[in-house]
Amino acid sequence: MTWILGVNAPPTGWHDSAACLIDGSGEIVAFSEEERINRHRHSLYRKPLGAARFCLEQAGIAAADIDVVALGWDSEQLYPRRFATDADFLAYAVGLDFGDRTPEVVRVPHHQAHAASSFYASPFSKAGVLVVDGHGENESTTVWTYEDGAEPRLEHTWQRTASLGYAYDAASTWLGFSFLNAGKTMGLAAYGRAAHLDVEPLVELAADDFRLAVDPLTESRGSATADEIKEHYDTVVGRWRERYTKIAGADGPTAPEERLTEDPRAILVAYTAQRLIEQTVTHLAALTRKTSGVDQLCLSGGVALNCSTNGTLPGPLYVPPVPHDAGVALGAAWTVRPPRKRTGPLSPYLGTDIHHGAGALGPAAGDTSDLVRTDLDIDALTALLLDGRVGAVAQGRSEVGPRALCRRSIIAVPDTADVNTRVNVIKNREQWRPFAGVTRPAYGAQLWEQQEHLSHYMLGAAKATELGRRVAPGVVHIDGTTRPQVLHGDEAPAVGAALDSLERHGAPPVLLNTSFNDKGEPIVNTAADALTAFRSMDLDFLVLGDDLYRKPNRTGGAR
């Protein structure tokens, strides 16, 4: 058996490190982001050692059995002559003890790894693939044509001077966020859309090109080291921040983060950056389809997490559950060995089982005598939800990617806007932040505009219908959109059963769904993580595997 370990790892992949193990047929055995294991969000500068060990455990193999380690970056270009041998590189980047046999190291260009992670996860046999992020080795945007049985073709490329990711990073940092909190910028931008703001266009579009409004003064060269890229990033982002300062007439918000919706300048900057992304990506999506000669479109790279933009693009469109840098662990592995059998769209439930390392609810979970446990009964769970209670679900293997897809989720009935307020308080989030909804396919068709694939992973905003606004106001944002998820079959057993039970009880079968984690923490991974988070957060119940936990003497709901 051939084993290929894909990684996003330092020194190149310095955030969102991850590991993915595939076998000789390209089938995924396991995939995990390191943050889920080490509990440090985005796992900055940390090697994916825990994630790699998890993958090996799932396969029942040792590090010495790995034949190839595929890295989603050309580390030799970015860090020339830093490592004398592949063994030295693997010790630094991954940390596994491979014994006397050093596996082959394959360095996959970053954007090619992104492209592969999207196409091979999709249901398409041929597609145009658009990759948009901050930067790869030399580029920030690329267009590809992928087809089963053929070598991928790189059709167009734009260098770092044209980085949409840099432009959005600058807006996020102008607003006081980290560049890793771009989702907040997107959520704030919706207030500009709702107000029908007229914003300054920051891009000029041509037939097969685009030009951004900010001239960074220094052109990026075709090949650069990591230090040179960092210097260039600082220059370009600095120029973009100057442009946003000129647009807003201030060098930052005048309101604190929790009250940014009261600051017209903050909303203006967020919406200006959002419109830049939407206008340019729409143009590039059309160019990708024209170049590839097919309507099927795959999207990847960090900008593909912008679900507001994704929701404006016509289908057929596929975005994988891990379009950001963690996904290049999968894409690098698949570049070495594409999957022989493709059924797409990819199941996201590839991570740690909730009882991993615990046997059942054993030592890894700890003492639960402070909680009231009963066997999970769906009617009892439905009664709690209909009573306005807010709880969490942790079942089965965890989903990969930054969106909780009902196996590590907080859930509630979204029949009032007040539930949005309460869940934001529970998660210690700003009150202007929105939530998403989950339902079954048939009812989803009545609640919001349809999305063929984006709703598998909650990666596209959709306009709510009049019925959606009426029955689920808790998951409708200020601009009238939601970020829906549609559950098929028994993908997430407890949530799926609860939705079906709500319908049997005559209630709208839709729930608020958000990630099960407190502020600043990764999504919970194991039973121990779930119980720790349940105790620390103001939640009413916890579905943990086949058990239902309550806090003793808890009487009040949300109503």
Cis-peptide into 316, omega within 30 deg = yes
Residue 452 pLDDT? 84
Residue 555 pLDDT? 46
Residue 10 pLDDT? 97
Minimum mean pLDDT range among 2-11, 258-267, 360-369, 419-428: 360-369
The yes-or-no verdict on residue 359 having pLDDT over 60 is: no
Confidence of residue 185 (pLDDT cuts 50, 70, 90): very high
CB 148 within 8 A of CB 125: yes
Residue 363 pLDDT? 43
pTM for the predicted model, two decimal places:
0.96
Q: Find the helix packing angle between 264-292 and 182-194, rounded to 10°.
A: 100
CB 485 within 8 A of CB 405: yes
φ, ψ (nearest 5 deg) of residue 548 = -120, 120
User: In this predicted model, what pLDDT tens digit does every residue of 230-274 receive, in sequence order?
Assistant: 999 999 999 999 999 999 999 999 999 999 999 999 999 999 999
Mean pLDDT throughout 130-144? 97
d(CA 412, CA 444): 17
φ, ψ (nearest 5 deg) of residue 242 = -60, -40
Give the 3-state secondary structure of residue 408: strand
Confidence of residue 219 (pLDDT cuts 50, 70, 90): low
Using alpha carbons, select from 526, 451, 518 the residue that is nearest to residue 483: 451
Q: DSSP for 287-325, please give it.
A: HHHHHHTSS-EEEESGGGG-HHHHTTS-SSEE--S--SG
- 211 contacts: CB under 8 Å, gap ≥ 6: 162, 203, 204
Mean pLDDT throughout 96-118? 97
Residue 269 pLDDT? 98
The yes-or-no verdict on residue 316 having pLDDT over 50 is: yes
d(CA 329, CA 345): 18
Q: Find the helix packing angle between 182-194 and 164-174, rounded to 10°.
A: 80
**Domains of the chain: residue spans and CATH:** 3-110 (3.30.420.40), 161-319 (3.30.420.40), 372-550 (3.90.870.20)
User: In this predicted model, what pLDDT tens digit does every residue of 431-445 receive, in sequence order?
Assistant: 999 999 999 999 999
Q: Find the helix packing angle between 378-386 and 493-504, rounded to 10°.
A: 70
